[in-house]
A and B are shown apart, each in its own frame.
Chain A
Amino acid sequence: MVVFDNISKRYGVHKALDQVSFTVKKGQILGLLGQNGAGKTTAMNIMTGCLAPTQGRVLMGGYDVLLQPGPAKRMLGYLPETAPLYDEMTVEAYLRFACRLKKVETKQMKKHIGQVAEKTGLQDVLGRKIGNLSKGYRQRVGMAQALCGTPDVIILDEPTVGLDPRQASEMRQLILSLRGEHTVIFSSHILSEVQSVCDRVLILHHGKVLCDNDLDALKHRENVLRAVIAGGEQTILPALRSLQKVSRAEVIRGGEPGVTQVRLMVSEEGAERELFTLLSALQAPLLRLQPEENSLEDIFLQTTKEQK
């Protein structure tokens, strides 16, 4: 649905994006993650045609955003970091304008605005001036304009910035409700947010892609096992370190007495069988064994640290 093909963007000598490539499939929610200045907003502005890349091209449903802007932009809805709102307009007049920009048929417009307002919870404020709305409602109006014209691709640049926790949670629910029906590209530097909303994460750092993976694969990418074993650390730990398919074994302190908790970094397939055989020989019962999920925060910090 979206192809970001070898994009570079320079501002003078500064490289904001450096040969960034990725594709987003239909119905997927992609989280763009990165520290401030990583290039997330630049990438989004290039995707939407607000900025032109120094090199590369963006395809939106097969249409080049720069060369065929009409059909390409008809497929997208964009909510920038600062919602593009005209304070002097009423919410309804503003959504009507957004619909006209997206070429929604005049006959369908009223019904469509009603649907978008219902989705974003704006039914009660349609007649109010945007300038008089709270930050939460303003962000919803921004979201509503992005949904006008039922675009296939919705691009959201830090949509929860400045919202209180309840409003942020509502916004996340709204984004989740778009799953399947729309392709969503969503940027944030709040890791838990990306974790709760996205199917796939792309980490940008200094304009380069550091990591691009499905969230599940990302969480399990190091294949770490956490084991709870009955027995003393002195006997168990050296034995675990002798396993061929385990690259590292470390004790987790603070468990029950007489029980050893360990983290095992698995280097090859079949480490579980090797572990069971070993513990059986040692007559040390295995009380629990589970794969350890990396939190996105761990992955993000680890990935960006490696690149410094």
Chain B
Amino acid sequence: MGSIWKKEIQSYFYTPAAYVFMGVFLVMGSIFFSVGNLTARSSNLNMLLGNLGYLWMLLSPVLTMRLMAGERQQKTDTMLLSSPCSLTGIVLGKFFAAATVLLCTVACTLIYGVIIAFWGKLYVMEAAVGYLGLVLCGCSFLALDLFVSCFARSQMTAVVLGFGANLLCWFSDIVASASTLPALKNVLNFFSLYQRFEPFTQGMLRFSNVLFNVVFCGIMLFLSVRVLDMRRWSEA
């Protein structure tokens, strides 16, 4: 797993993927911060973190598209599959590499907190809960998109599928409101990543929401391993 993680981290920074991801995220984040905090003279950092959550939805496929679909497209997956590394090791190594880039990006946004603390009043615990939510939400999107990437043969397909899956999981509560079937409504509400993220942005730390995100990641990664294994039995 360590070898896969290290290689993926290198690849992220050898190619534009990590720079595009971090660059776009930080530019957009800075615009949100400038408009929502500096211009509005607000010290509410969690409002900014709430807006940053939307960016994960749009940008996480950029990080995950190459993880599985890229390997398949370049036919480099044979090297991994014929190596002594287990399928679980491959999937975890890739996921943690993407999560590392995500954490580095989040770390860069701490500067907003420092600016607020310097010029105004920063509620540290509230901000910490907001950051925890932001990281968990980002990791959930990464795990979801990694899983989706397992089905795609090209990186472009992986991106499109990733956007679709992210939108569905983010806004499934909106879809739920249009549903007339109570059971479906409950299921869609349960799986809404937005519903799980929102309390964090309000500074509310709920164990159930933390657990949901962790279990969601675990299930997506487990399914990714299963898809890779299944492909060995069925693929031509």
Listed in ascending order, the chain A residues whose CB lies under 8 Å from chain B are: 11, 16, 45, 48-52, 69-71, 73-74, 76, 78, 80, 82, 84-89, 93, 97-98, 100-103, 145
Contact of A76 among B2, B3, B75, B82 (CB under 8 A): B82
In the complex the two chains form, what is the Cα distance from A48 to B82 in whole Å?
5
B82's partner among A49, A93, A97, A103 (CB-CB below 8 A) is A49
Chain A min CB distance to B92 (Å): 15
Beyond known contacts A50-B232, A101-B83: 5 more, CB 8 A cutoff: A52-B232, A52-B233, A78-B82, A86-B76, A97-B3
Smallest CB gap from B16: residue in A: A88
B89 to chain A, nearest CB (A): 10
Q: Which 4 A-B pairs have the closest CB atoms?
A: A100-B3, A84-B79, A48-B82, A84-B76
Q: Are A102 and B10 in contact (CB under 8 A)?
A: no
Chain A CB within 8 A of B86 CB: yes
Report the nearest B residue to A14, measured CB to CB. B236
Contacts A70-B86, A89-B14, A101-B3 given; indicate if A11 touches B75 (C-beta within 8 A): no
Q: Which of A50, A71, A88, A93 contacts B78 (CB 8 A)?
A: A50
Contact A88 B75 (CB under 8 A): no
Q: Is the Cβ of A88 less than 8 Å from the Cβ of B81?
A: no
Q: Across the interface, which residues of B come within 8 angstroms of A102, CB to CB?
A: 83-84
Enumerate chain B interface residues (CB-CB to A < 8 A). Answer: 2-4, 6-7, 10-11, 14-15, 74-86, 232-236
Find chain A residues with CB under 8 A from B10 CB: 89, 93
Query: Inside 8 A of B11's CB, which chain A residues have their CB?
Result: 86, 88-89
Q: Which of B76, B80, B86 has the most chain A CB within a 10 Å cutoff?
A: B76
| Residues of chain B lying within 8 A (CB to CB) of residue A93 | 10
Central interface residue in A16, A74, A93, by most chain B CB within 10 Å: A93
B154 CB → nearest A CB, Å: 15
CB-defined contacts of A85 to chain B, threshold 8 Å: 74, 76
Q: Which residues on the B side are within 8 Å of A84 (C-beta)?
A: 74-79
Selected contact of B81 from candidates A49, A70, A100, CB within 8 Å: A49
Considering the chains assembled together, what is the distance between the CA atoms of A73 and B89 in angstroms?
14
Query: Please, how many angstroms separate the alpha-carbon atoms of A88 and B14 in the complex?
Result: 6
| Complex Cα gap A45–B75 (Å) | 13
Contact B82 A50 (CB under 8 A): yes
Nearest Cβ on chain B to A194's Cβ, whole angstroms: 22
In the complex, residue of chain B having the shortest beta-carbon distance to the beta carbon of A74: B84
Q: What residues of B have a CB within 8 angstroms of the CB of A100 in the complex?
A: 2-3, 6-7
- Would you call A48 and B7 a contact (CB within 8 A)? no
- Complex interface: chain B residues within 8 A of A52 (CB): 232-233
Task: Report A-chain residues with C-beta under 8 Å of the C-beta of B76.
Answer: 84-86
A93, chain B: closest CB distance, angstroms? 7
Contact between chains at B3 and A80 (CB < 8 Å):
no
Contacts of B80 in A (CB 8 A): 101
A123 to B149, CA, bound (A): 36
Contact A97 B78, beta carbon cutoff 8 Å: no
* Nearest CB in chain A: distance from B102 CB, A: 20
> CA–CA, A11 to B234, complex, Å?
7
B80, chain A: closest CB distance, angstroms? 8
B235 CB contact (under 8 Å) in A51, A69, A70, A101:
A51
Tell me the nearest residue of chain A to B6, going by C-beta: A100
B6 near A80: Cβ-Cβ < 8 Å: no
Expressed in whole angstroms, the Cα–Cα distance for A82 and B11 within the complex equals 20
A48-B3 contact in complex given A11-B236, A69-B86, A89-B10, C-beta closer than 8 Å: no
Residues of B within 8 A of A69 (CB): 84, 86
* A48, B81: Cβ atoms closer than 8 Å: yes
With A and B bound together, what is the CA distance between A93 and B10 in angstroms? 9
